[in-house]
Amino acid sequence: MSSLAVLPVKVPPIGVLILAASSANLGLSILSPVITTLRDDFSASADRAQLVLSAFMLSVAISQLISGSLSDRFGRKRVLLGGSVIFIIGGIGALLSTTIDMLIGFRILQGAGAAACMTMGRVIVNDVYQGTEAARKLSIVSSAQAIVPALGFAFGGVIAEFIGWRGSIGIMVMGALLIAVMSFLFIDESRRGDPVLFRPASLIAAYLALLKTPGVMFHGLTSGLAVGMFFAMGGVMPYEFDRMGIGPLEYGLFFAMTSVGYILGNFINGLLVGRVGVVRMAYIGSLLTVLVPLLMLAGGLTGLLTPLWLSFLCFCFGVCNGLVIANAMICSMRAAGSNSGAGTGLLGAMQMLFGGVAGSAIIALGGANHFSVTATGLLIMALCAALSSFLAPNSR
């Protein structure tokens, strides 16, 4: 038996888990406000500039599938430290990039490192807490990590105004370095039981088994679509605010209300989840989420949409997400059983995959020029999330 299997499980500082779980949020939120500036600096098309965000998200999605299973074999701490180092190296490369293609390449490397950090931050919560307590702790992590995009969107615009987009990437590098140092000092190994051998055939078999598990898939799709909507919004909303005459500085402050709403939603969830139940709370939140893109679409079609109104709707979306994400994630990870690391990787992959694909698809279909395309895309995702939550075991 591996020594990792017999080490006592020590509850890690929640702040370190928040840092690790926030890695992907940091990699996206601080760069989102400057995407139009970056596009102009490189004289790139909107589609090409969008890849700076979408390629990162797709890299995070794919890499989580591997990092989750690697942690089942080698332990959570080793994968967390390795991921933070890759995140740092990718950030330095992105900082020194001289072409849009070079930047996209290093953003892919950044995504691979961020994936490992984010997955470990979540799965360690699943390792050391049980039942509704795990849902509460993950809700705390989710709520606190929402501060990262709130600050990222707000200060990303400020940094862009005075330093430029390279300053935003410099902040990412410092954040990755902080994750590495804090994880080395304060995280103990939390994986329990014998290590799961890492073989390609076993990996494929594990994911096939997860894909056949209704609890994993339906709850995972609910959470994945909810998070994917947030990341898609982070990629496409700059263009709508830009059409309204809102620059990077003001956009960061307006869109940061999404994260403020998410914090409030997680607070409400913490108060109610013990009485309502984890599964039912996710279902209620997913139904409420549908209303937000409906109102966005109505406002866009009637010409009544203003920056303040759109910012308020983003806030409402954040509140609804706070009721959905942590609860659906816990249900999905629990249903994964002994393959919780792989299950967490699959869950995170779905979240980033939906965000990356949806953001690029919306831009490709004209979302950069027509807000109705953006709102319709978000509405389709919200409806699919509500349907998935409805079909999840014990949701009603």
pLDDT in tens, 288-327: 999 999 999 999 999 899 999 999 999 999 999 999 988 8
**Mean pLDDT along residues 256-265:** 88
Q: What is the CATH number of the domain that holds 16?
A: 1.20.1250.20
Alpha-carbon distances, residue 81 vs 87, 169, 199, 270 (angstroms) = 10, 20, 22, 30
Rounded Cα distance between 13 and 245, Å, is 43
**Mean pLDDT along residues 116-127:** 84
More confident residue, 143 or 370: 370
Does residue 153 belong to any structural domain of this protein? Answer: yes
**Mean pLDDT along residues 164-178:** 90
More confident residue, 68 or 362: 362
Q: Supply the mean pLDDT for the chain.
A: 84
**Mean pLDDT along residues 166-192:** 87
Percent of the chain with pLDDT over 90: 32
262 pLDDT more than 60: yes
More confident residue, 64 or 42: 42
More confident residue, 152 or 308: 308
pLDDT of residue 197: 60
pLDDT of residue 341: 65
Alpha-carbon distances, residue 261 vs 56, 232, 297, 383, 391 (angstroms) = 25, 17, 20, 20, 27
pLDDT of residue 350: 81
pLDDT of residue 394: 66
Does residue 396 belong to any structural domain of this protein? Answer: no
pLDDT of residue 252: 80
Does residue 35 belong to any structural domain of this protein? Answer: yes
Other beta carbons within 10 angstroms of residue 326's beta carbon come to: 32
367 pLDDT more than 50: yes
Does residue 1 belong to any structural domain of this protein? Answer: no
177 pLDDT more than 90: yes
42 pLDDT more than 50: yes
Percent of the chain with pLDDT over 70: 90
354 pLDDT more than 90: no
More confident residue, 390 or 359: 390
Does residue 2 belong to any structural domain of this protein? Answer: no
Query: How many structural domains comprise the chain?
Result: 1
- Reported as a pLDDT band with limits 50, 70 and 90, residue 385 is very high
pLDDT of residue 193: 61
**Mean pLDDT along residues 108-133:** 84
Does residue 333 belong to any structural domain of this protein? Answer: yes
Does residue 331 belong to any structural domain of this protein? Answer: yes
Does residue 67 belong to any structural domain of this protein? Answer: yes
Residue 48 belongs to what domain range? 12-391
